[in-house]
A and B are shown apart, each in its own frame.
Chain A
Amino acid sequence: MIPTILSVDDSKTIRQVLARLFRPFLCELCEAANGEEGLAMVAQKRPDLIILDYNMPVMDGITMLRRLREDAGLKRTPVIMLTAESGCENMAIVARLGVRDYLTKPFREDQLLAKAGRIIPLLRRPESGILSPTAECPPP
C-alpha cells in the first residue's frame, strides 16, 4: 500500500507545488481547496497524512482540524500545518489539537519532505515512471 497524502490549500499554486514535490515518490496525492472539501476528501480517501493550510475561505484549517479531532475514526490522522505567519498565537491552539508539525510559507521543500518522511514512508518512485502519483485521484 502506498501512502496517501491530502493537500488542503485554497491556493492552486501551492497545491501544484506540492504535486511537483511529491511526484518523485511512491504516494498518492489528493487535493482539496478548503476545509469543507478537505473533510469530504478525508472521509473518502482516509489519507495517511494531511498537509493543511491555516488561512482559507469557506472553512479554515483550524476548523477542519477541530472537526477531524471530533471524529473518533479520523482523529489520529497526522497533520502538518502550513501557515503564512510564524509565531501566530493560534499555532498554540493548533498544537493542542495534535498537529504533528508546522511550516511557515514559503516553506523550504527539503524541510517539508523531511517532516513528511518522519510520518509516512517516502520511497522514490522507480525511474520507469510506470506508476502515476495522481492516477487514483479525481481531478481537482
Chain B
Amino acid sequence: MSSASLKPDLQRLGREALCEVLGALLDFPLTEGRSARETDAESPDGRLQGTVKLTGPHVSGTVHLQLSRAFARHAVVHLVGATHPRPPGDAEVQDFAGELCNMLAGRVAAQLRSQGYPCELGVPEVVREPPGLPEPEPGTERGRTDWTCQGHRLALEMRLRYQPT
C-alpha cells in the first residue's frame, strides 16, 4: 500500500469528484480550466474557501474548495428555489460553500477508501477572502483541478500525506 505506484491520482480524483457532485447537485455545465470572463463575474464579491480534513490510518490531509461568493449565492438560489424570501445572506452562502466542500471531500474519501486508504471526514470550515493556501509540508502530495462554471472559477485542491504501513 505504501508503494508510490499504488497512490491515487489526486488530480483525476478531484476532477471526478467535482464533475459528479456539481452534476448531481446543480446540473450546471462545467468547463475544465479557467475562463477569461469569470474574473469579471466574480471580482465584485470576493471569494470563499472551504476546507475538510481527512483522517485515516494510512493517509491524512485536507480537501480545499475555492469558489466565488457570487457563484455560491447563485447556487443557493438555484437549490432552494425561487420562493426563497430574500437574496441569500453571508451565512447561507458560507454554509453552502462548506456543504459543497463536504460533499466533494466525501467523494474523494470514497475513492481513497476504494483504493485502500480509508479515512474519515472532519467538519467543514469556511473562510472569506482566503489569503491563499500555505506551502505544503514536505512529503505532502498535491492534486489541483480548476474549472469554470456559470462564468465563475472553481478550484479543488487535495493535500495528502501517506503514512507507511
What residues of chain A lie closer than 8 Å to B103, measured between beta carbons?
Answer: 84, 105-106
CA separation between A13 and B118, bound complex, in Å? 28
CA separation between A55 and B103, bound complex, in Å? 11
- In the complex, A104 has a CB within 8 A of chain B: yes
B126 CB, min distance to chain A CBs, angstroms: 11
In the complex, are the beta carbons of A16 and B24 less than 8 A apart?
Answer: no
- In the complex, A12 has a CB within 8 A of chain B: yes
CA separation between A84 and B21, bound complex, in Å? 10
In the complex, are the beta carbons of A11 and B98 less than 8 A apart?
Answer: yes
What residues of chain A lie closer than 8 Å to B80, measured between beta carbons?
Answer: 13, 16-17, 20
- Interface hits, A26-56 → B, CB 8 Å: 55-56
CA separation between A46 and B81, bound complex, in Å? 28
Using A13-B99, A105-B103 as known contacts, say yes or no to A84 and B81 having CB atoms under 8 A apart: no
A1 CB, min distance to chain B CBs, angstroms: 26
In the complex, are the beta carbons of A55 and B121 less than 8 A apart?
Answer: yes
What are 25 A-B contacts with C-beta separation under 8 Å?
Answer: A11-B96, A11-B99, A12-B95, A13-B76, A13-B79, A13-B92, A13-B95, A13-B99, A14-B99, A16-B92, A20-B80, A20-B81, A23-B83, A55-B121, A55-B123, A84-B103, A84-B107, A85-B113, A86-B110, A88-B113, A88-B120, A90-B120, A105-B102, A106-B21, A106-B24
Using A13-B92, A87-B113, A87-B114 as known contacts, say yes or no to A55 and B102 having CB atoms under 8 A apart: yes
CA separation between A104 and B103, bound complex, in Å? 9
Chain B interface SS verdict (over half): helix
CA separation between A106 and B80, bound complex, in Å? 14
- In the complex, B13 has a CB within 8 A of chain A: no
CA separation between A23 and B92, bound complex, in Å? 20
Chain A interface SS verdict (over half): loop
In the complex, are the beta carbons of B109 and A85 less than 8 A apart?
Answer: yes
- In the complex, B25 has a CB within 8 A of chain A: yes
What residues of chain B lie closer than 8 Å to A106, measured between beta carbons?
Answer: 21, 24-25, 103
